Amino acid sequence: MFSSGDGGETWKDVSPAVGPLYHHAFSLDPYVYVDELTSRVFTIDLYVACSELSYTDDEGANWITNPLNCGEPVNDHQTVF
1 pLDDT higher than 80: no
pLDDT at position 57:
93
pLDDT at position 38:
93
pLDDT at position 35:
92
pLDDT digits (tens, 9 = 90+) for 18-61: 666 666 666 777 788 999 999 999 988 877 777 778 899 998 88
> 44-59 burial by CB neighbour count: b if 16+ within 10 A, else e?
bbbbeebbbbbbbeee
pLDDT at position 77:
67
Which is nearest to 30 in space by CA: 13, 20, 42, 21? 42
pLDDT at position 70:
63
